[in-house]
Amino acid sequence: MLWGDGALSGETIFSLELMGKKEGKKDFIRQIIAGDLAKGKHETTITRFPPEPNGFLHIGHARAICLNFGLAQENPGARCHLRFDDTNPVKEDTKYVEAIQADIKWLGYDWGEHLYFASDYFDYFYDCAVQLIKDGKAYVDLQSPEEMKAGRGNVKEAGTNSPYRDTSVEENLELFEKMKNGEIGEGKAVLRAKIDMESPNMNMRDPALYRILHAHHHRTGDKWKIYPMYDFAHPLEDAKECITHSLCSLEFEDHRPLYEWVVQNCPTPSEPRQIEFSRLNLTYTVMSKRKLLDLVNEGIVAGWDDPRMPTLSGMRRRGYAPESIRTFIEGRGITKFNSNTDFALLEADVRAHLNANADRRMAVLEPLKLVIDNWEEGRVEEMECMNNPENPEAGTRKVPLGKEVYIERDDFMEEAPKKYFRLAPGQAIRLRGGYILNYVSHEKDPETGEVTQVHVEYIPGTIGQNAPEGIKCKAAVHWVSVDHAVDAEIRLYDRLFTEENPDGFEGGFMKCLNPESLKVIKGAKVEPVLAESGKEYSCQFERVGYFCTDKEDHEQGEKIVFNRTVELKAAKF
Ligand code: ATP
Ligand code: MG
């Protein structure tokens, strides 16, 4: 995949970035900020993260969050505001406001007392608009949307002035007042900045500042019948909060002249500087909130926090640690070049974190029963098993062993091929942390031919010791004692899409869904200590993968539900 479309340039840049990082070189934004501070341009830095509450945050947002909040942590006296950019009432909702706050905190960041809502500035935006009209820099255009579109021209042709461009200030003030009071219908008028219809930058061709929307707002109710456009509101929000560096994604580069125009022409308390950086894109997923909403609304996933979603809530529910997301984001650096990052890189960081930190436990997903013929009825012995071989401090735990044991169905074969080293006629296996078991016989369902149980004999004195002469034992398998096993539901999650670039898939992203993105195993058996784990407990099921208890459906001691976080090793393509 590293050599796939667009990936090469992105990954090459990324490795160059990393080289810079190792030498302690700052990314270009950190360099600009350090320069501004050195010149005394600002006393400190104030950044902001400005989500629109129209969906949950995704891994792309994590780049903006880590950058903005990260800067606040790195510079003395600096801070980062959380500001909800709630200027479009139609798609916004308080449930998103709450989810966004929870996700940012989970990721490890805090805005302190600096929580703001663009809707708190609606009066200020309005006053700025009135000032622009008074200064002859804005006018109400009564053309139809089609006429306005035609008048804008295109990249090759200059636009033409609207017939309303030179209406008097008084008349404009009156019309704008009418817009505000709901006396003009939706789509019948807009307030436009008077800039330059011939500008080579389309954004400067008398852009709309306000539109009419007779919509209910989740915070201001029915007070407003007009709502500011993003390009007008955003610079004013930044200036109002004295943001020093307004960091946004690359698609706003062409909007920067308008951003500056608004700041310069409105009564603002400060002059923030906009700097753009490239968005984070990931293979095998879609990132636009509109598309994520489609997945939710069409029932393709169980909700915004479904573990297959690229949302922070989904990744949390899947068992990704916030540390590994931060490591992943930092590892990619901040650049000016758009690229598509391999999802496997994120998984590698998730895995590395869990490998170092997660407990080892045993779970049998497809159980096959072994009967230890030479084990006395009722005898229970405790095996001492390591909690994490990567971390000796994690210690050991005792795992009970009785006369009957579950192992994975595929750890036994009736007719073993040459390279099969697990249990088979003539072959022994070791129980992890326990005895060597030697094959005796097996039973089958006469109708289906399925192996129903296997008889074995344990070899005393083999815990931690080699097999005695004449016994072939080359593998140690995970196991759960039948009498002590706890039932569990295990959800095996996989990628949601089969294509590396679902956005570019012919027929649309909905046409390349992975039909096997979720497989539910109801009859799994896990070791008894797991009955006591609470929600969001992460562990490695030995030889199987990394798993975590589900944040919603798992109930300690009642209903054991594990989600697969990531496989033990990266899949080979
Ligand atoms: P989407 O297109 O997914 O709906 P958006 O940009 O409209 O995203 P906002 O809520 O407006 O979503 O985003 C808040 C902030 O997060 C913005 O500053 C935006 O630039 C940044 N952001 C959004 N997506 C990404 C991404 N993929 N990579 C980096 N930053 C992003
Ligand atoms: Mg947006």
List the domain boundaries for the chain: 135-229, 283-357+489-573, 362-484
Residue 430: both structure tokens together: 């070791």
The model's pLDDT over 262-275, given as tens digits with 9 standing for 90+, comes to: 999 999 999 999 99
Stated pTM of the model: 0.93
| Eight-class DSSP state of 77 | T
Rounded to the nearest 5 degrees, what angle is found at the Cα of 242, between the Cα atoms of 236 and 244? 105
Locate tokens 């027929």: which residue? 507
Question: In the prediction, which pLDDT does 304 show?
Answer: 98
Domains 135-229 and 283-357+489-573 share a fold: no
Which residue, by CA, sits nearest to atom 2 of ligand 1?
A: 288
- Angstrom CA distances, 538 to 183, 251, 400, 549, 559, stand at 58, 38, 21, 7, 16
State the closest ligand 1 atom to the C-alpha of 50, by its place in the atom list counted from 1.
14
How far is it, in rounded angstroms, from Cα 358 to Cα 394? 9
State the closest ligand 1 atom to the C-alpha of 252, by its place in the atom list counted from 1.
20
Nearest listed ligand to the Cα of residue 288: 1
Which residue, by CA, sits nearest to atom 26 of ligand 1?
A: 60
CATH code: domain 283-357+489-573 is 2.40.240.10
Give 52 Cα–ligand 2 centroid separation in angstroms.
Answer: 6
Give 262 Cα–ligand 2 centroid separation in angstroms.
Answer: 19
Question: In the prediction, which pLDDT does 572 show?
Answer: 61
Homologous superfamily of 362-484 in CATH? Ribosomal Protein L25; Chain P (2.40.240.10)
Question: In the prediction, which pLDDT does 134 show?
Answer: 98
- Identify which of 48, 61, 69, 245 to mutate to test ligand 1's pocket (most ligand atoms within 8 A of the CB): 61
How far is it, in rounded angstroms, from Cα 165 to Cα 140? 8
Helix axes 7-22, 322-332, angle to 10 degrees: 100
How far is it, in rounded angstroms, from Cα 68 to Cα 66? 6
State the closest ligand 1 atom to the C-alpha of 54, by its place in the atom list counted from 1.
10
Which residue, by CA, sits nearest to atom 27 of ligand 1?
A: 60
State the closest ligand 1 atom to the C-alpha of 251, by its place in the atom list counted from 1.
20
Residue 540: both structure tokens together: 């490695």
Which residue, by CA, sits nearest to atom 3 of ligand 1?
A: 288
Give 58 Cα–ligand 1 centroid separation in angstroms.
Answer: 9
How far is it, in rounded angstroms, from Cα 295 to Cα 310? 11
Pairing of strands 451-459, 367-372: parallel
Rounded to the nearest 10°, the torsion over CA 167, 170, 175, 176 is 110
State the closest ligand 1 atom to the C-alpha of 249, by its place in the atom list counted from 1.
20
How far is it, in rounded angstroms, from Cα 540 to Cα 569? 12
Nearest listed ligand to the Cα of residue 103: 1
Rounded to the nearest 10°, the torsion over CA 382, 383, 387, 388 is 180
How far is it, in rounded angstroms, from Cα 11 to Cα 33? 25
Closest CA to 366 of 408, 307, 316, 398: 408
Question: In the prediction, which pLDDT does 25 show?
Answer: 78
Which residue, by CA, sits nearest to atom 28 of ligand 1?
A: 279
Give 61 Cα–ligand 1 centroid separation in angstroms.
Answer: 5
Give 63 Cα–ligand 1 centroid separation in angstroms.
Answer: 9
State the closest ligand 1 atom to the C-alpha of 59, by its place in the atom list counted from 1.
27
Closest CA to 302 of 493, 60, 561: 493
The model's pLDDT over 131-148, given as tens digits with 9 standing for 90+, comes to: 999 999 999 999 999 999
Give 51 Cα–ligand 2 centroid separation in angstroms.
Answer: 7
Give 60 Cα–ligand 1 centroid separation in angstroms.
Answer: 7
Which residue, by CA, sits nearest to atom 23 of ligand 1?
A: 61
Rounded to the nearest 10°, the torsion over CA 348, 353, 355, 360 is -130
Give the residue numbers marked as catalytic. 52, 279, 289
In the three-class reduction of DSSP (H, G, I as helix; E, B as strand; rest coil), residue 391 is classed as coil
Ligand 1-lining residues (CB < 6 angstroms): 50-52, 60-61, 63-64, 248-249, 279-280, 287-289
State the closest ligand 1 atom to the C-alpha of 279, by its place in the atom list counted from 1.
28
Average pLDDT, the chain: 94
Q: Are 6 and 283 in contact (CB under 8 A)?
A: no
Nearest listed ligand to the Cα of residue 67: 1
The model's pLDDT over 343-375, given as tens digits with 9 standing for 90+, comes to: 999 999 999 999 999 999 999 999 999 999 999
Which residue, by CA, sits nearest to atom 14 of ligand 1?
A: 51
pLDDT digit string (tens) for the chain, length 573 residues: 333 333 334 444 444 444 445 456 799 999 999 999 999 999 999 999 999 999 999 999 999 999 999 999 999 899 999 999 999 998 889 999 999 999 999 999 999 999 999 999 999 999 999 999 999 999 999 999 999 999 999 999 999 999 999 999 999 999 999 999 999 999 999 999 999 999 999 999 999 999 999 999 999 999 999 999 999 999 999 999 999 999 999 999 999 999 999 999 999 999 999 999 999 999 999 999 999 999 999 999 999 999 999 999 999 999 999 999 999 999 999 999 998 999 999 999 999 999 999 999 999 999 999 999 999 999 999 999 999 999 999 999 999 999 999 999 999 999 999 999 999 999 999 999 999 999 999 999 999 999 999 999 999 999 999 999 999 999 999 999 999 999 999 999 999 999 999 999 999 999 999 999 999 999 999 999 999 999 999 999 999 999 999 999 999 999 999 999 999 998 765
Homologous superfamily of 135-229 in CATH? Glutamyl-tRNA Synthetase; Domain 3 (3.90.800.10)
Give 60 Cα–ligand 2 centroid separation in angstroms.
Answer: 12
Which residue, by CA, sits nearest to atom 15 of ligand 1?
A: 51
Which residue, by CA, sits nearest to atom 29 of ligand 1?
A: 279
Nearest listed ligand to the Cα of residue 55: 1
Give 32 Cα–ligand 1 centroid separation in angstroms.
Answer: 22
- Compute how many other C-beta atoms are within 10 angstroms of the C-beta atom of residue 266: 20
Nearest listed ligand to the Cα of residue 84: 1
How far is it, in rounded angstroms, from Cα 462 to Cα 65? 53
- Identify which of 93, 230, 249, 252 to mutate to test ligand 1's pocket (most ligand atoms within 8 A of the CB): 249
